Each structure stands twice: as structure tokens, then as C-alpha cells.
Structure 1
Amino acid sequence: MNDAETLFVALRQSADDDVVDMLERMVRDAPDHALNKMNALDLAASEGLDEERVIAALLNAVGLGIFEMTWNVMCPSCAGVLSANKSLKTLDRAQYSCAFCAAGYDTTLDNLVEVTFTVSPRVRKIAAHSPDELSAAEYYRQIFWSSAIDLPADLEKLLREVTLEMVDLPPGERAILSLQLPKGTLIVFDPVTHTAQFLDVGGEEASDRQNLSVIFNKVDVPVDTVALRPGPLRLALENRTESRVLPAVWVANQVLDDLLKRRKPVLTAKRLLTNQTFRDIYRTETLAIGQRLKILSLTFLFSDLKDSTALYERVGDLVAFDLVNEHFRLLQEIIASERGAVVKTVGDAVMATFETPDRAIAAAIRMREAMSDLGAERQHQSLHLKMGIHEGSCLAVTLNGQQDYFGQTVNVASRVQGLADSRSIVVTESVVENVHARALLETNGLTPTLRHVALSGIADKVLVYDIS
């Protein structure tokens, strides 16, 4: 048995057999590019497998050294990778800029950061492990573009339709291109150094040859625009870096627009942080001490057992301890199945996060019923949960040695839970207004009832709704 076979045997101890079979088959038979920057959601869809089980298997495979995980900061406009990181700890900039689009974006974990998986060289060596040896088309496919863009199989043919010229320029070398410029917008762009020069071509056709020089180095310079006329251009390109560059002259035409609009869902950093398997494996290793990363929208659920002190007194410590432990097990199982994650427990209380409000409500409804069933099963009818849900922006941080969240959204969610009685779920206006959450409540025949309350320590008025 070789090393790869041994690793996959180990992976079967923590992942579904169907998913492991698929991953093992890919490592053995798939083309190189299919094992680079793997998109977990696209992979699950193409193979007809559950997304959460595919994500869990890939995370466990990373732990075993079968795959490597990368956190890619990607441009929302062109889907290019602006920064590839082995860990969230190296996302240390408040804003990232895309030279190809001449745009800047605030660093958030909602849709700006994708998580992808690449086979480890110890398991199989693929072309992407040596990016300097890739052709220009494959460099764009495997290195520059994120897994969010749906690229055609024959990328070289498409690139010929959107570029006037493309050059493979070794370190320290120069190249001279003679071009005939059409009217419109052109972009001289290199995906290695992320250097761009925009050309605004208009007016009368030039009778004399025009000249332009572009230098590629590792110094960040603002993207600017040069006005030129249609006609002949002598374009001088100089590589002042220690690696090859791949400059091309792009044409901003309809074909390019159509290419950049071809998108696939991706595993975002926000979704991964709300994944229970990820939290179990990387609870203390996600963020650096003092690091703060913004999330624009995250849903928090707080729960607490009602009258748990009286429960201990009524049934005794041993029985109560067993009930509380079973309650935690059931809640974590339900939360994970609704694509959420338990952030922490304090006493009999649980703090959990979900990517969207509807997932939190779905979990809360199931948690309420599970506690009723558990109480009936153990003949303790008073086993009830008080739950509160709120959605909003927050900061992902490290607190007390583990990945946690900070901000007013967390405070409000905690206070809202305190308003709940034995079987009610109290939610805020932002939760009820979510279109998917409203549809879920209607499907379950539940009508939220508005309450006007003041929350301790919260200056602004907060509208809350009872779901009973």
C-alpha cells in the first residue's frame, strides 16, 4: 500500500465513503487542473453529493495532508485572485485592489474571500505546483482566476478573441510589439505582477506610429489611463522582476464581458467559519491574536435551558447532568445539519452562527421540538429552550484562545434571547425581513408577533418578534 492509499484509508475514518471514493478517484485519474483550486460546492453539484459532506471530507483531508487549503481574496468584478493565502492570518490589509478592473474593495469575508483545495505534492505532483512552467492560458485558468469563474474547456481559443497579443517574457528581458489599435478600451495586463495600463483609444486614426512603454516590477503603482488614437503602436515591454511575466493586450469587448459573467457558487470564508467540522479542527488556529476581519452579514442564535437550576434540584445532579449533555449533543447535531456551527457554550447556554437567517430559524424550530421530545422521553416535560436570533455585521476575532465574534450584532442577539419564554423563539426585524426566512415561517404555519421592547445596554430601538 503506497502513501496515498494509506492516507485515504485514514480519511475513511472521518468522512463519508462516497465522498472519499470520489476524491480518491480524482487524485488517481483526474487531469491536473481539476486538482488545483478545487471548488467544493461545484464539486458536490457535479458529483451529486451533499455540500456539507464534501466540505467536511476536504477539511479532514487537509488535516491528513492529502490536500492543501487556500484562502483566496478575489475580485468581485473579474473573479481574479488578488491574494492567495495559506491561512486567514495573512489577510492583513483593510482593502484590496484589482489592477485589471482598476477598482478597490474593502476586506470582508462574505463574498471577497473564497476557500479552495489543491492536492498536496506528496500525494500527486500537478502542473500548478510549478506555475512558472504553465502556459499563459493555463496560468490564467489555474493561478489568476478564482474558482468562481466558469471557464470553457478551450480557453486558448477564447483568449484569442479577447486579446490582441500575449507574451511570455522571461526575467530581465524586453519585448517590442507592433500593434494596430482599434477604437475602444484596451488593457495591458500581467497576471503575475498584477500590473495594468489602460489605453483609451479614440479620435482620428494616427498617421504616424505611436509609442508606449510598460515596465513590470514588484512595486505597486496606481493604475492610470493613456489616451491614444487608432492605428499603429510600438509597445515596449520590460520585465524587471526575477520571474517570468505574461503580459497581454486585452480588448474590453462583449466577449470579455460575457466571459467574466460566467460564474459558479464558491465556498466563502464566511460559510466555512460557520461550518462545524471547520470549527472542530481549526478552533484555535484561524485568526492571529488582535486580528479583526469584517463580516457584513452573519446570523447569531443564542439558546439557554429554562429553569435549569430548578431541574438540578428536582431530579438530582446525575440525571440533570445527563439531560444537559444530551441537550448539547442534540443541539450541535441540529445546528451542524442546518449549516451552522456552535461557537461556544457557557453553562447551559449555546452561541451558534449561521450563514443566513433562514438556516437559524430552521435550526431553532427543530431544536424546540427536539427538546420537547427529549423531555417527554425522559419524563421531564419542563425541558424547554429560550432562543433568540439576530442578523447583522460583526468582526471575526480571537477571544480566549479560540475563533469568536465581536460587535453590537452579538450583543443584540444575546439580549434578544433573554426576552424569550419557555417555548418562544424571539427574532429581530432583520431576521423576519429575510425573504427565505419569511417563506420558511409560512411553510411551517408560523406567524411572528411584534413586540415593542427595550434591550438593556442597547441605545437604539430594536423591533423583536415572537415565534411561538
Structure 2
Amino acid sequence: MSEVDVLFATLRQAADPQTVDRIESVVMSGADRDLNRINALAFADAHQLDQEKTIAALLHAARIGAFEMTWNVLCPGCGGVLDTGATLKGVDRETYHCALCAAGYEPTLDEMVEVTFTVSPRVRRIEAHDPDRLSPIEYYRQIFFSSGVDLPEDFEAKFSRSLLELIELAPGEKAFLSLQLPAQFVIIFDAVTHSARFLDVKGDATSERQNLSMVISQGHAVNETLELRPGLLRLTLENHTDRRVVPNVCVAGDDLHEILGRRRPFLTAKRLLTNQSFRDIYRTDTLDVDQRLKITSLTFLFTDLRGSTALYERVGDLAAFDLVRAHFRVLHEIVAAEAGAVVKTIGDAVMATFPTPDRAVAAALRMREAMLRLNTEHGSDDLLLKIGIHEGPCLAVNLNDRQDYFGQTVNIASRVQGLADPNVIMTTEAIVGDAHVSEILRHSGIASVSRMEELQGIAREVRIFALS
């Protein structure tokens, strides 16, 4: 049995076998391009697989060394990869600048950081393992553009409609280009160093030759827009780096915007951090102690058992412990099934996160039903669950050697749970106002009753909703 066979046999023991079979099939017979920076969501959809099972399989594949996981900071404007690293710890800048868009962005885990998977060289060698050997057009396709840009199959043909020139320059090499400038906005851009120069070409055409020089270096300098006239341009490009560069000169017109405007969902860092498989595999090795990464929207669910202290006294430590452990096991299973993750347990309480409000509400409803079943099985009402849910912005942090969350959203969710009666799900307006949540409640025939409440540590009154 080869090393690859052993790896996939190991993977089948940890992940869904059907999903692993599909991944192995692509590894064995797919194109090189299909195995570089895999978009887990697009892969699942293309092969009619469950997204959560696909994410889990790829995570386990990365854990055993069959794939490599990368965290890429994306430009929200053009979809280009601004930076990449093997861990989330590499996302350590307050602002990331995109030279192509001439804009700076503060990174957020639910909008700007994608997670992709590339087959390991020990499993199969692909061209992208040595990106400087890719053709210039493939470098743009496979390295510069993120997995969130839905590039067409005929990308080369469509990109060529915008191109005036695309070349490659070895370290220290210089090139002289003669270009006929149209009366449009023109960009000179290198995808390796992200160096850019902008040309606003307008006015009457000139018969005189215009001259322009551009030095490509690692500085990523922001260049002012130059005004030129339509006509002949002699462009000198110099590579002052120690690696190959692939500068292009293109027209920033409708053809280019059509390519950049095609987007698709991708596996965000936020979604991965709220994935139970990821938390189980990587545990504390996610964030540095000093990192504070923003998430614009995350849903928190808190639970607690009412009267658990009295339960221990009433039925004895051993019986109570078994009941509480059974309750924890059920809650963990439900959270994972709804694409969430348990952040921590505190006594008999659970703190969990979900990527969207509807997932949290679906989990809460399943938790309530599960506790009723457990109580029926044990012939008592010992497991009385109180649930609170809230959604909003937060910070992902490393706290007490654990990947955790901080902010007012977390505080409100915890306080809302404290107001819940047993077997009642308490939420905020941010939750019940979600369109998908409204559909769940309508389909389940669940009514909500609202009231204003003062929450400890919260300056303003909060409208809360009891789902019963």
C-alpha cells in the first residue's frame, strides 16, 4: 500500500467516506488547477456533497498532511489575494492595501479572510506548488485571484479583451514595450509584487511618442494617476526584485469589470472558527495572544440548566453527573449539526457560536426538544434548559489559552439567556428580524412575545423576544 493509499485510508476513518472518495477521485484524475486553493463550498456544490462534511473532510486531510490549508486576505473590491499564510496568526496588519483598487481595508474575518486547501506535494505534485513556473495568465488565475472570484472557463480569452500587454520579467530584467493607448483608463499592474501605475488617457490623440518608466519592486508603493493622451506609448518596465514578475497593461473597462464582478461564496475564517471540527482539531493553535480580529456579524447562543445544584442534592452526585454529561453530549451534537461550534462550557452552561441566526434558532429548537425527550426517558423534569441568542459584531481573541470572543454582543447574549425561563428560548430583535429565522418560526408555528428589558452592564434598554 502506497503512502497516498495510507493517507486516504486514515482520512476515511476520520471523515465521511463518500466525501473522501470524491476528494480522492479529484486528486487522482482532476486537473492541476482543480487541486490548488480549493474553495470548499464550491467543491461541495460541484460534486453534490454536504458542505459541512466537505469542510470537515478537508480539515482532517490538512491535519494528516494530505492537503495544505491557507488563510488568504482578500480585497473586497477586485477579489485579489492581498496576503497569504499557513495560519490565521499571519493576519496581523491593521490595514491591507490593494494597489489595483488603490484602497486600504481593515481585515474582517467574515468578509476578507478566506480559507482554501491545496493538495500536498507528498500526495500529488501540481504546477502551483512552484508558482513562478506558472504561465503569466495562470499565475493571475491561480495565485492572484481568490477562490471567491468565479472565473469563467474561458478566462484567458475574456481577460485578453482587456489586455494591451502581458509579459514576464526575470529578476533584474528590463523590457521596452510599444503600446497604442486608447482613450480609456489604463492600469499597469504586477500580480507578484502588487505594484501598480494608473493612466488616465484622455484628450486629443497625439502623433508624438509618449514615454513612461516603471520600476517593479517589493515596496507596493501607491502611485498617483498620470494623465496621458491617446496614441503611442513607449513603456519601460524594470524588475528590481529577486523573483519573476508578470506585469500586465489593461483597460479598466466593462470587460475587466465583468470578470471581477463574478463572485461566489467562499469558506470564510469566521465560518471556520465556528466549525466544531476545526475547533476540535486545532484547539488553541489559531490566534496569537495579542491578536484582535474583527467579525462584523456572529451569532451567539448561551444555555444553562436551571436548578442544577438542587439536582445534585436531590438525585446524588453520580446520577446528576450522568444526566448533565448526557445533556452536554446532546448539545454538542446539535451545535455541530447546525454548523456551529461550542466555544466553552462554564459549569453546566454552554457558549456556542453559529455563522447565521437561523442556524442558532434551529439548534435552540432541537435542544429544547432533546431535553424534553431526555426528561421523558428519565421520568423526571430534571433537565430544564434556559437558552439565549443574540447576533452582532465581536472580536475573535485568544483568552485563557482558548480561541474565544469578546465584545458587547457576547455580553448581551449572556444576559438574555439569564432572563429565559426553563424551556423558553429568549432572543433579541436582531435574531427574530432575520428573514430565515422568521421562516423557521412560521413553519414551526412558534409565537414570539416581546418586551423591553434593562440588561446589566448595557446602557440602553433591549427588546427581547420569548419563543415558546
| TM-score, reference length from structure 1 | 0.99
Distance 1:30 1:96 in 2: 34
Q: In the alignment, does 2:92 pair up with 1:92?
A: yes
Secondary structure class of the residue paired with 1:208: strand
Stretches (4+) displaced over 4 A = none
Q: Which residue does the alignment assign to 2:237?
A: 237
Matches within 5 A, 1:442-461: 442-461=442-461
Deviation at residue 154 of structure 1 after TM alignment: 2.9
Distance 2:155 2:171 in 1: 25
Distance 1:432 1:212 in 2: 58
Cα-to-partner distance string for 1:58-114 (whole Å, 9 max, x where unaligned): 000111000000001111121110001110101111111111111221111011011
Cα-to-partner distance string for 1:1-53 (whole Å, 9 max, x where unaligned): 11111111111111111111111111111111110000100010011110000
Distance 1:387 1:255 in 2: 51
Deviation at residue 310 of structure 1 after TM alignment: 1.5
Distance 2:390 2:159 in 1: 46
Q: Which residue does the alignment assign to 2:413?
A: 413
Higher mean C-alpha deviation, range 78-87 or range 451-460:
451-460
Distance 2:162 2:322 in 1: 65
Distance 2:109 2:22 in 1: 29
Q: Which residue does the alignment assign to 1:257?
A: 257
Q: In the alignment, does 2:30 pair up with 1:50?
A: no
Q: Which residue does the alignment assign to 1:352?
A: 352
Secondary structure class of the residue paired with 2:324: helix
Q: Which residue does the alignment assign to 1:182?
A: 182
Q: In the alignment, does 2:332 pair up with 1:325?
A: no
Distance 1:438 1:104 in 2: 37
Amino acid at match of 1:260: L
Q: Which residue does the alignment assign to 1:18?
A: 18
Amino acid at match of 2:173: E
Secondary structure class of the residue paired with 1:101: coil
Q: Which residue does the alignment assign to 1:316?
A: 316
Higher mean C-alpha deviation, range 217-226 or range 112-121:
217-226
Cα-to-partner distance string for 1:248-286 (whole Å, 9 max, x where unaligned): 001111111111122221000000000000000111100
Higher mean C-alpha deviation, range 256-265 or range 110-119:
256-265
Distance 2:167 2:109 in 1: 35
Distance 1:117 1:383 in 2: 42
Deviation at residue 321 of structure 1 after TM alignment: 0.8
Distance 1:277 1:396 in 2: 18
Q: Which residue does the alignment assign to 1:367?
A: 367
Q: In the alignment, does 2:435 pair up with 1:435?
A: yes
Secondary structure class of the residue paired with 1:79: coil
Cα-to-partner distance string for 1:156-182 (whole Å, 9 max, x where unaligned): 222211110011111101111101100
Amino acid at match of 2:273: L
Cα-to-partner distance string for 1:202-246 (whole Å, 9 max, x where unaligned): 011112111111110011311321000001111110100001110
Distance 2:441 2:278 in 1: 29
Cα-to-partner distance string for 1:313-361 (whole Å, 9 max, x where unaligned): 2221111111111100110111111111000001110000011111111
Q: Which residue does the alignment assign to 1:279?
A: 279
Secondary structure class of the residue paired with 2:14: coil
Contact 2:447/2:467, CA 8 A, preserved across alignment: yes
Distance 1:402 1:108 in 2: 20
Q: Which residue does the alignment assign to 1:128?
A: 128
| TM-score, reference length from structure 2 | 0.99
Q: Which residue does the alignment assign to 1:391?
A: 391
Q: Which residue does the alignment assign to 1:5?
A: 5
Secondary structure class of the residue paired with 1:138: helix
Distance 2:418 2:152 in 1: 53
Q: Which residue does the alignment assign to 2:114?
A: 114
Q: Which residue does the alignment assign to 2:69?
A: 69
Distance 1:126 1:147 in 2: 17
Distance 1:68 1:112 in 2: 20
Secondary structure class of the residue paired with 1:25: helix
Q: In the alignment, does 2:200 pair up with 1:200?
A: yes
Amino acid at match of 2:103: A
Q: Which residue does the alignment assign to 1:298?
A: 298
Q: How many residues align?
A: 468
Secondary structure class of the residue paired with 1:263: coil
Secondary structure class of the residue paired with 1:278: helix
Higher mean C-alpha deviation, range 36-45 or range 380-389:
380-389
Distance 1:119 1:126 in 2: 8
Amino acid at match of 1:47: H
Q: Which runs of 5+ in 2 are unaligned?
A: none
Cα-to-partner distance string for 1:362-399 (whole Å, 9 max, x where unaligned): 11011011000110011122422101111111110011
Amino acid at match of 1:234: R
- The share of aligned pairs that are identical, in percent, is 59
Q: Which residue does the alignment assign to 1:227?
A: 227
Distance 1:313 1:365 in 2: 29
- Give the CA RMSD over aligned residues: 0.9
Secondary structure class of the residue paired with 1:12: helix
Distance 2:64 2:31 in 1: 22
Q: Which residue does the alignment assign to 1:150?
A: 150
Contact 2:99/2:220, CA 8 A, preserved across alignment: no
Distance 1:257 1:221 in 2: 24
Contact 2:389/2:417, CA 8 A, preserved across alignment: yes
Cα-to-partner distance string for 1:393-450 (whole Å, 9 max, x where unaligned): 1110011101000111111111110000111111111112112112211111122211
Distance 2:432 2:224 in 1: 45
Deviation at residue 186 of structure 1 after TM alignment: 0.6
Higher mean C-alpha deviation, range 304-313 or range 186-195:
304-313
Q: Which residue does the alignment assign to 1:139?
A: 139
Distance 1:405 1:98 in 2: 28
Amino acid at match of 1:41: L
